Amino acid sequence: MTFNKFKNNSSKTDTSTSGSQSLITQTGAGTTSGVSLARINTANNAVIPPAYQDGKFATVFSPSLYGASSDVSSSGYYHISSSINIASGSSPFTTPIDSYTEVFYAPLTTISTNIPAQTPTFSGVSVNAISAVSRSLSGAPYLSSATYTISGSILGLFNPLYYAGTGIATITDSDSLVTESGGILTVSTAGGTIQTLNAVYDSTGVTARGTGTVPYETDIVKVYTTSSFAPGTSDENINQTGLGTTSFSLYINGLNKAGTTTTNTSTVSYHTAGNFGQPSASGSLAYYGKTQGTDTSTTLVESFTGESNRLQVNNNILTFIGDTWSTAFGLYNLGATDLQVKPGFLVKPGGTYGYWLTNPSSASDYKYYIRKISSGASSNKVSMTLNLGQALVNWTSTTSNSVAVALLFESAKSGIYTPPRFFDPSDTLSNVINSSISANTDGTNPFGSAIALYGNTGGSLSSTTYTIPLRPADGFTVNATYDEVYVIIRYKGDPTPISSITTTFS
């Protein structure tokens, strides 16, 4: 028996019904209208004669969509049910075996041109910065990780039809440094029913639909997750001036009935000025993924990725027992005459190229940075090279926005020479420049005792590389006993910052 119902309306009330039944009889082995009977031979036919012992039913009924045609009026819901009763010989018919299904049908041309367009919409999308972790460099903070939450609702995903797959709604991001975890990231309607728990709600947004159920046309989908920002050890967004990328995007996506994506985009700042108790005037935190205290610079090359080889500007420099710079977390700890290290650059704090910090003191236009170079010499060296990526002015120059360098060889420290002898690699024409520069002379002697200044006579400049012939007669020696050099960098004003110090010994 077959029974058909046709419903041409969304309330699914019957428009028309029909039914039919037929009796199929098969006597003995053979097939009639899809009903097959078979004899199975026994081991001894004389004792147990072969008889009807097997049967099957295949394509007994081939129902079609009742009334379906290429006309738009045939569009609607079709309910088809069938049942089979079986009787053998004079035995009564068995209990019916039923099967039914319901489908929506419309001519293809009608579906493509007459079903309303479906564009999901978004409601209540919210993004919040939850937590942040920072590290410091030269007393300035940098973001090293952060977490954010995003949530929102998607409407119109089920009206008039919906996508049956594993991603009717998703949350994604634009940044390889950001990952999502927890919450409801992906909503599945694979197979046509809800597969994701607590994701699909009624139109009020209060009552969640159960999994395995069919969503209503007016249902909404809710998604939310935590996004974690975690730059790697080589990741930063520091430019010579200002910052590079300062934000990323979080996307809430909804698929319409055709599987086409509609996206809501939220632009998220890694850090918003003023958040997490930071001063708004400093702007947004840059990010820097290198762990606090680590440094990829070497004993001969400084790349300004940390401060492990930096020394404090004080009188201990003169006796060559310079105090190391603290690489522990610390904020606003630059001295009045200190330059600032920001990832990849040496800058004037508060200047054009600075970051976060103001100038700690405007009493002097000269700022300093001291870096220890360990040559590793096991024998006498005859020459040294120094390259800061730009030409230097003489140590005695007062040129605005300039970079100068003085070297203190371990072999020329206080205790060996009085006063200790400093060396200007940029002055290739002089030997003794000044035999005694008074203590605390602005721009030429930031120390509390007098120093002497010597030139690089016999040296040369090629591009930005200074060649420095070592002069044992004047106290400038590099060997197994005196194998270190202090490089004192001085900025006058706010010059284009240097990004490396490279030295060699031969």
Tell which residue, 142, 401, 82, has the closest CA to residue 283: 142
Model pLDDT for residues 467-489, shown as the tens digit of each residue: 999 999 999 999 999 999 999 99
334-337: long-range contacts (C-beta < 8 A, 24 or more apart)?
334/138, 334/139, 334/360, 335/360, 336/360, 336/361, 336/363, 336/364, 337/313, 337/361, 337/364, 337/366, 337/367, 337/368, 337/446
Token representation of residue 134: 């920072």
Tell which residue, 493, 256, 451, 243, has the closest CA to residue 364: 493
**What's the confidence (pLDDT) of residue 69?**
64
Beta-bridge partners for 151: 126, 224
Token representation of residue 81: 């049910």
Please say if the pLDDT value at position 86 is more than 90.
no
Residue scoring higher pLDDT (64 or 292): 292
Which one-letter amino acid corresponds to residue 46? A
**What's the confidence (pLDDT) of residue 19?**
77
Q: What's the whole-number mean pLDDT along residues 118-129?
A: 96
Confidence of residue 54 (pLDDT cuts 50, 70, 90): low
**What's the confidence (pLDDT) of residue 73?**
72
Confidence of residue 312 (pLDDT cuts 50, 70, 90): very high
- In three-state secondary structure terms, 171 is strand
**What's the confidence (pLDDT) of residue 294?**
95
**What's the confidence (pLDDT) of residue 227?**
98
Model pLDDT for residues 164-185, shown as the tens digit of each residue: 999 999 999 999 999 999 999 9
Tell which residue, 287, 283, 267, 263, has the closest CA to residue 275: 283
> What does the longest C-alpha to C-alpha distance in the chain come to?
135
Please say if the pLDDT value at position 307 is more than 70.
yes
**What's the confidence (pLDDT) of residue 62?**
64
DSSP 109: H
pLDDT over 70 percentage in the chain = 95
First to last CA, the chain: 102
Q: What's the whole-number mean pLDDT along residues 58-83?
A: 70
Residue scoring higher pLDDT (170 or 87): 170
What are the residue ranges spanned by the domains of the chain? 2-114, 121-282, 301-505
- 90 contact partners, CB below 8 Å, separation of at least 6: none
The pLDDT mean for the chain works out to: 92
**What's the confidence (pLDDT) of residue 111?**
67
Please say if the pLDDT value at position 287 is more than 60.
yes
**What's the confidence (pLDDT) of residue 47?**
74
Q: What's the whole-number mean pLDDT along residues 412-440?
A: 98
Token representation of residue 90: 């004079």
Q: What's the whole-number mean pLDDT along residues 426-433?
A: 97
CA 476 vs CA 165, 311, 380, 413: distances in Å = 76, 21, 11, 10
Question: How many angstroms separate the CA atoms of 344 and 322, rounded?
Answer: 24
Beta-bridge partners for 212: none
Give phi and psi for 410, each to the nearest 5.
-55, -30
Please say if the pLDDT value at position 61 is more than 70.
no
Q: Hunting for tokens 């201990």 — which residue is that?
A: 316
Question: How many angstroms separate the CA atoms of 116 and 112, rounded?
Answer: 9
Question: How many angstroms separate the CA atoms of 44 and 42, rounded?
Answer: 5
Highest mean pLDDT among 26-30, 78-82, 100-104, 473-477: 473-477
Model pLDDT for residues 331-367, shown as the tens digit of each residue: 999 999 999 999 999 999 999 999 999 999 999 999 9
CA 482 vs CA 273, 410, 452, 477: distances in Å = 49, 5, 19, 7
Q: CB of 247 within 8 A of CB of 176?
A: no
**What's the confidence (pLDDT) of residue 100?**
74
pTM: 0.79
Please say if the pLDDT value at position 501 is more than 90.
yes
- 459 contact partners, CB below 8 Å, separation of at least 6: 425, 428, 466, 467, 468, 469
Question: How many angstroms separate the CA atoms of 85 and 95, rounded?
Answer: 6
Confidence of residue 57 (pLDDT cuts 50, 70, 90): confident
**What's the confidence (pLDDT) of residue 23?**
83
Please say if the pLDDT value at position 67 is more than 60.
no
Residues in the chain: 506
User: Residue 131: how many CA atoms within 13 Å on its side-chain side?
Assistant: 7
Tell which residue, 480, 483, 440, 474, has the closest CA to residue 455: 474
Helix or strand holding residue 110 (H, E): helix 108-114
Model pLDDT for residues 218-245, shown as the tens digit of each residue: 999 999 999 999 999 999 999 999 999 9
**What's the confidence (pLDDT) of residue 45?**
76
Model pLDDT for residues 138-168, shown as the tens digit of each residue: 999 999 999 999 999 999 999 989 999 999 9
DSSP 313-367: SSGGGTTT-PPBPP-SS-SS---TTB-EEETTEEE-TTSTT--SPPPS--S-SEE
Give phi and psi for 130, each to the nearest 5.
-105, -45
